[in-house]
Amino acid sequence: MLIVALAFSLAGLLIVLGFVALLKQKTYLDSATLQPVEVELPVIGKVKSNYPAIIFVLLGFVLAYVAFQRSFPPRKVEWRVEGRLTNTNPAPGGVSWNEGSLTLTPSELEHHINSQGAYTITALIAEGTKLEDVYETLDYSNPQGSTHIDLRRELKNYTQGKPSLISGLTDHTRTFKNVDLESLLPPLK
Preceding omega of 73 cis (within 30 degrees of 0) = no
- Cα(49)–Cα(14) distance, integer angstroms: 17
Is 172 part of a structural domain of the chain? Answer: yes
Same domain, 59 and 119: no
* Chosen domain end from 71, 101, 120: 71
Q: Which residues of the chain have pLDDT under 70?
A: 1, 22, 25-30, 36-52, 73-74, 89-93, 103-109, 184-189
- pLDDT of the residue at 165: 92
**Pair 31, 124 in one domain:** no
**157 in the same domain as 109:** yes
Give percent above pLDDT 70 in the chain.
75
Coil, helix or strand at residue 154 = helix
Residue 189 located in a structural domain: no
Q: What is the pLDDT of residue 154?
A: 93
Strand ranges inside 34-158, DSSP E: 38-41, 45-48, 76-86, 101-105, 110-113, 118-126, 137-142, 145-150
The structural domain count of the chain equals 2
Same domain, 48 and 132: no
Residue/partner pairs of 63-68 with CB below 8 Å, 24 or more apart = 63/7, 63/10, 63/11, 63/14, 64/7, 64/8, 64/11, 64/12, 64/15, 66/7, 67/4, 67/7, 67/8, 67/11, 68/8
Which residues on adjacent β-strands are paired with residue 82?
Answer: 120, 175
- Beta-sheet pairing, 76-86 with 45-48: unpaired
Task: Tell me if 188 is assigned to some domain.
Answer: no
What's residue 1's pLDDT?
61
Q: What's the CA gap between 82 and 119, in Å, rounded?
A: 6
Residue 63 inside a domain? The answer is yes
User: Of 47, 71, 95, which residue is a domain's last?
Assistant: 71
Domain extent for 157: 76-183
What angle do the packed helices 2-24 and 51-71 form, to 10 degrees? 160
Same domain, 117 and 25: no
